[in-house]
Amino acid sequence: AQKITQTQPGMFVQEKEAVTLDCTYDTSDPSYGLFWYKQPSSGEMIFLIYQGSYDQQNATEGRYSLNFQKARKSANLVISASQLGDSAMYFCAIGGYSTLTFGKGTMLLVSP
């Protein structure tokens, strides 16, 4: 079984600052993928970034980067230069061959 833990129910950040959203995982699969999704109030789950378990380098996608520490089983999302439009729920997920297991999410609020 796979499990994702997101310990921060909510985070506040000022516009233009960086923020880190925490994610730890547990799995017995030797190969897996770690994902972050953003869910605005409209409900759609928007894919942000992916990290494969065997990838040597941390993934980056624009202002998003994934701080992957395999030994610690953590996959934190770093958002640089926060924008007001970043306010949303953020979900970490782990995937194997067939599907994804999500955490409970972190609500991020970006203030002017």
Q: How far is the CB of 44 from other proteins (least distance, A)?
A: 4
Q: How far is the CB of 37 from other proteins (least distance, A)?
A: 7
Q: Which of 5, 22, 50, 63 binds other proteins (CB under 8 A)?
A: 50
Q: Which of 43, 56, 57, 112 binds other proteins (CB under 8 A)?
A: 43
- How are beta strands 10-14 and 106-111 bridged, if at all? parallel
Burial call 34-73: b when 16+ CB within 10 Å, e when fewer = bbbbbeeeeeeeeebbebebeeeeebeeeebbbbbeeeeb
* Backbone phi and psi for residue 82, each to the nearest 5 degrees, phi listed first: -55, 145
Told to check if 108 binds other proteins by CB under 8 A, we report: no
Told to check if 100 binds other proteins by CB under 8 A, we report: yes
User: Which CB, 14 or 62, lies closer to other proteins?
Assistant: 62
Q: Which of 13, 27, 68, 105 binds other proteins (CB under 8 A)?
A: 105
Residue type at 107 in one-letter notation: M
Query: Distance between CA 84 and CA 24 in Å, rounded?
Result: 26
What residue ranges bind other proteins (CB under 8 A)?
4, 33, 35, 37, 42-47, 50, 91, 93, 95-105
